Chain A
Amino acid sequence: MTMPSPFASSISSAPNPQPRHRLPNRAGLGLKSQHFAEILATRPNLGFFEIHAENYLVAGGPFHHYLRRIRDHYPLSIHGVGLSIGADEPLDIAHLDRLAALLDRYQPQSFSEHLAWSTNNGQFFNDLLPLPYNLPTLTRVCDHLDQAQNHLQRRILLENPATYVEFAASTMDEATFITEIVHRTGCGLLLDVNNAYVSGVNHHRDPRASIAALPLAAVGEIHLAGFAEDQDATGAKLLIDTHGAPIAAAVWNLYAFALERLGPTPTLIERDNHIPALAVLLAEAQCAERWLGYAQQDRAV
């Protein structure tokens, strides 16, 4: 039904040994401008840094000044938050061109985006909005991913979403939808363990079963973050993916579960709000590295 994707072959093959094409199986941190100077001065022992692409689509100044220097010392992941792959409108070609220029400039080991939409009718909503899981949306998402992967000439890791509503129009569950996308487009997966947990609670699903049902061989990176707690109209727990708090114990446990199935996998500590001192984030990264160490030992046994 769909054309074979030029990126499909990379799924079944062994991970590329060239570090240029892969993040190390270590913990990384989201790069925040508050920490630029300290990172350069102290060079913390970390696997990689990740940036939000849209913050760096600027001509010059301190963001590029620091990123260029930090890139000299660390592997880099670029994470897009504005491509709107799930939109029911054509992708923004100018935005793709700007992303291509940024990827060309920094040669990151990984580029990822979201299973979500964030634009409509020329407006940008700065949030990752949900879509129903059915055949028309599947076709659209796959067309957009094919287009983006061809335009950027690289495999994209697609992130599973944190959602607060479901759709009457959905005809398949999220894991089936994502599995089909990976199959059709050859994209990789960014497994956001916090999102899996948040969506699990919000939709009364077992997050372990949701993760186990994903095509885990395609996972190229993991995200860990903190959430906030709210309630729905009946008083049931509703978790909000805020990236504004430490990683919860339940999410660490789910991470350990995921690593048992995945083996060591590059893991990002995400904090975008209430950003604490670098040392606080480094401690969370160290915690992830301990879990990665256990996963490595399990592999060796």
Chain B
Amino acid sequence: MSDQRLFAAALLNPDVPCPDGLTAWNDSDPTRRFAVYRNNVIVSLIDALADTFPVTQELVGEEFFRAMAGVFVRQAPPTSAQLVEYGEGLPTFITQFEPASTVPYLADVARLEMLRIRAFHAADADPLTPEQITQALADPTRLPLLQVGCHPSLNVLNSRYAIVSLWAAHQGIGDLASVNPALPEIALVIRVGLEVQVIALPPGGDVLIAGFAAGLPLGEAAGLAIATHPDFDLTAHLALLLRCGALSSFSLPTEVPS
């Protein structure tokens, strides 16, 4: 093993002794000096996770969160210098982290917070203009064929828990005590301008958007949503998506000249 491989192993694992060959001017035990590096690595990565998952941290408290994040950091250090991506693995880790099992919705709240980071840094795209919308809706007979492009920042999270209400209550919107975590909610996460928004989608909205993402035309995507939710209201869903700038392109298949 290379010297750096040994150094790296000792950084992450406190049970591995400080690497050989480290010295100090006063012949002091290098373990104490090496601990500065150990501490820098672990604490800076826990700090990075705390920045990404503020509501997750509030739900379990800072002490619990930092202890849990420390276990995660040692088990799954970053694989890239782009730390904004670090934490993608934390929600799944939480589902397997036994002490967190008393907060069953914790992993989904963490998933929601990770989607917010992704939306924040996602590619830019203009939402549809009113003219484009009017034009696309002008011919109702062609509507089912419409190809709908979603904004690059858009993501949907379908949860068994009231993640939108829980998240909002931690932003001072609504009363946390009145939230029933056991009510399923679907979160739409999107960046509107420079702000990331978290919006509750009515049932079936996730199916509709998954259809768009799969390249299905509007008619087929709506058909899937109606099949799973018989009272699905396409007009209301489209209005909501257009209102929050979630759609960035409409196109019709090019006509083959006869």
Q: What residues of chain A have their CB less than 8 Å away from a CB belonging to chain B?
A: 54-55, 57-65, 81-84, 87-89, 95, 117-127, 129-132, 164-169, 202-204, 230-234, 236, 238, 240
Contacts and interface: CB of A to CB of B under 8 A. Distances in A.
A232 B33 contact: yes
Given A125-B11, A166-B22, A238-B36, A61 B28 contact: no
Given A168-B21, A236-B28, A117 B34 contact: no
Interface string B35-46: 011001100110
Contacts of A83: 81
A82 B83 CA distance: 10
B81 A118 contact: yes
A232 B28 contact: yes
Nearest to B79: A122
25 contacts: A58-B121, A59-B152, A60-B121, A61-B121, A61-B122, A120-B5, A120-B7, A122-B79, A124-B80, A125-B8, A125-B77, A126-B40, A126-B44, A126-B78, A129-B4, A164-B33, A164-B36, A165-B37, A168-B23, A169-B3, A169-B21, A203-B25, A232-B33, A233-B28, A234-B26
A126 B45 contact: yes
A166 to B, nearest CB: 5
A166 B24 contact: yes
B4 A120 contact: yes
A129 B48 CA distance: 19
B58 interface: no
Contacts, number: 138
A131 B37 CA distance: 13
B81 A233 contact: no
B2 interface: yes
**Nearest 5 pairs between A and B by C-beta?**
A82-B81, A58-B121, A60-B124, A59-B123, A233-B32
B23 A236 contact: no
A60 B122 contact: yes
Contacts of B2: 88
Contact of A87 (B4, B22, B40): B4
Given A60-B123, A232-B28, A127 B80 contact: no
Nearest to B20: A168
A123 B122 contact: no
Query: By CB atoms of chain B within 10 A, which of A58, A95, A117, A165 has the most?
Result: A165
A51 to B, nearest CB: 14
A123 B8 contact: yes
Contact of A121 (B8, B29, B30, B80): B8
Interface residues of B, number: 45
B77 to A, nearest CB: 5
Contacts of B77: 123-125
A232 B82 contact: no
Interface in B77-109: 77-84
A167 B41 contact: no
Contacts of A87: 4
Contacts of A169: 3, 21
Contact of A117 (B4, B30, B120): B4
Given A164-B36, A164-B37, A236 B123 contact: no
Given A82-B81, A166-B22, A230-B36, A61 B8 contact: no
A203 B152 CA distance: 51
Contacts of B36: 164, 230, 238, 240
A232 B26 contact: yes
A63 B3 CA distance: 37
Query: By CB atoms of chain B within 10 A, which of A61, A88, A120 has the most?
Result: A61
